[in-house]
């Protein structure tokens, strides 16, 4: 959609740019989004459908060092290519037209930004599972595009938008190649963005879907490392490196990246098109398997961390790892912000709480009567009898607590239940004895 950084609301044109038009066709212009290689891009509003749109125009090309005829041809190409495509991960084309000699395309407005900020050398890196998800969805989009006879030919970070909901969308088909218009002639110059071109692209050879997948591999490499695989002081050096040098090993740049993900990137950057994935769908299938493994690894890591949090509590001294896992399955580890109510006076709830981290205040009638810390329990009577809560418990610090329901505890093994109730009973007796001692001390005074 936009070839520049995507702003959120549009604005006034900077000095030297043409004044904002009130309308383009039926569309009400709301602001300037930026300048692309083909002209100005506006944020506008469609009053009939009642939605925001982005309008790419050839406006602003006059007087600039730009081939106007080539820019207009790019508009025809993009309109033809985008008109063939309708996919959730490709920016949609709604309309196209000519007004007073100005060509324009009306496209889906994406509230977000391109992948560029996450591809900077010293910029932030996306988490691995997010990178896999982005590339997976772009692979699906390219597979769809290729199945419709459209090669993108310019896949790069600035042509992939990421919405505020983290949905990637491929855009800018202005140099696309459409099957129905191919005439077998090779372009006089290499088409695309040099850093992301495939070996066959820099040699101006006939292109296949594998070329787009190579470019997507460069994007993936850059998301992971902040660098493109190849650089050069000029195009001659860069193109020679792309043609002849083996891709730098991702493992050397990011030792934390799983081997299977490194292997995917290496395959995408293979010199020969036939050594890459046969289709975007084949790439997506492999990434889905990796994504599932990453998610499973994250879940296992979270489970180990949760188990370690409980293992540090005296309550679980005699429990095996398997029994702690059973308790975790029967309960929930919940986080509470300072001031959050965990239980409320007067409510009926058959749950028991054990503080794994942080502190909480016990309040009765709005007055703090006790403070609980790591390893302390509360809710024992309600857990046994479903009686009304006699006090309110409020998180004093950021707090992590294990919440166990009496009903769900019946699902754990008998040995685990017996061990839990033994420790639970000991804890309850200790708490009752402590309360009784405090009450006696108050009476004696």
Residues 156, 108: Cα–Cα separation, whole Å? 19
Nearest to 328, CA basis, from 426, 411, 237: 411
CA distance 197 to 175: 13
- Degrees (nearest 5) of the Cα angle 289, 291, 295? 120
Of the listed 154, 172, 212, 325, which one is catalytic?
Answer: 154
Q: Are 237 and 134 in contact (CB under 8 A)?
A: no
Q: Is the four-CA dihedral 32, 34, 39, 43 of positive or negative sign?
A: negative
Cβ density class 340-351: b for 16+ within 10 Å, e for less: eebbebeeebbb
| 102 touches 55 (CB < 8 A) | no
Per-residue burial over 305-324, b if 16 or more Cβ lie within 10 Å, else e, is ebbebbeebebbeebeeebb
CA dihedral (299, 302, 308, 311) in degrees, to 10, reads -60
Q: Is 154 a catalytic residue?
A: yes
CB-count exposure of residue 267 (10 Å: 0-12, 13-18, 19+): middle
Looking at the annotation, which residues are catalytic?
154
């Amino acid at each position: 959609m936009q070839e520049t950084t995507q702003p959120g609301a549009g604005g006034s044109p900077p000095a030297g740019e043409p004044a904002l038009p009130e309308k383009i066709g039926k569309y009400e212009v709301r602001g300037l989004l930026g300048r692309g290689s083909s002209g100005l891009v506006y944020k506008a509003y469609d009053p009939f459908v009642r939605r925001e749109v982005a309008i790419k125009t050839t406006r602003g090309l006059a007087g600039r060092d730009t081939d106007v005829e080539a820019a207009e041809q790019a508009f025809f190409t993009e309109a033809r290519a985008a008109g063939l495509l309708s996919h959730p991960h490709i920016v949609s084309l709604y309309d196209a037209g000519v007004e007073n000699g100005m060509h324009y395309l009306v496209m889906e407005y994406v509230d977000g930004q391109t992948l560029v900020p996450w591809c900077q050398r010293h910029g932030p890196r996306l988490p691995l599972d997010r990178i896999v998800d982005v590339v997976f969805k772009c692979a699906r989009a390219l597979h769809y595009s290729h199945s419709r006879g459209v090669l993108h030919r310019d896949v790069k970070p600035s042509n992939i938008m990421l919405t505020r909901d983290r949905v990637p969308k491929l855009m800018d088909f202005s140099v696309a190649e459409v099957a129905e218009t191919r005439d077998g002639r090779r372009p006089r110059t290499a088409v695309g963005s040099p850093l992301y071109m495939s070996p066959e692209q820099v040699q101006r050879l006939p292109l296949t879907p594998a070329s787009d997948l190579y470019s997507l591999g460069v994007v993936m490499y850059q998301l992971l490392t902040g660098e493109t695989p190849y650089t050069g002081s000029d195009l001659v050096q860069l193109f020679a490196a792309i043609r002849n040098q083996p891709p730098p090993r991702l493992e050397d740049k990011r030792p934390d990246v799983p081997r299977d993900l490194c292997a995917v990137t290496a395959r995408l950057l293979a010199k020969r098109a036939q050594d890459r994935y046969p289709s975007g769908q084949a790439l997506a299938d492999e990434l889905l398997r990796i994504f599932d493994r990453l998610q499973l690894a994250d879940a296992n890591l979270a489970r180990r961390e949760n188990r370690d949090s409980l293992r540090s509590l005296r309550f679980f001294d005699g429990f095996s790892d398997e029994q702690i896992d059973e308790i975790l399955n029967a309960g929930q580890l919940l986080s509470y912000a300072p001031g959050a109510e965990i239980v409320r006076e007067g409510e009926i709830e058959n749950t028991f709480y054990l503080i794994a981290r942080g502190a909480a205040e016990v309040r009765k009638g709005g007055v703090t009567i006790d403070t609980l810390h790591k390893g302390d329990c509360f809710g024992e009577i309600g857990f046994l009898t479903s009686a009304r809560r006699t006090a309110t418990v409020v998180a004093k610090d950021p707090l992590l607590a294990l919440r166990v329901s009496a009903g769900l505890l019946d699902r754990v093994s008998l040995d685990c239940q017996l061990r839990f109730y033994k420790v639970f009973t000991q804890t309850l007796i200790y708490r009752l004895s402590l309360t009784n001692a405090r009450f006696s001390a108050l009476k004696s005074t």
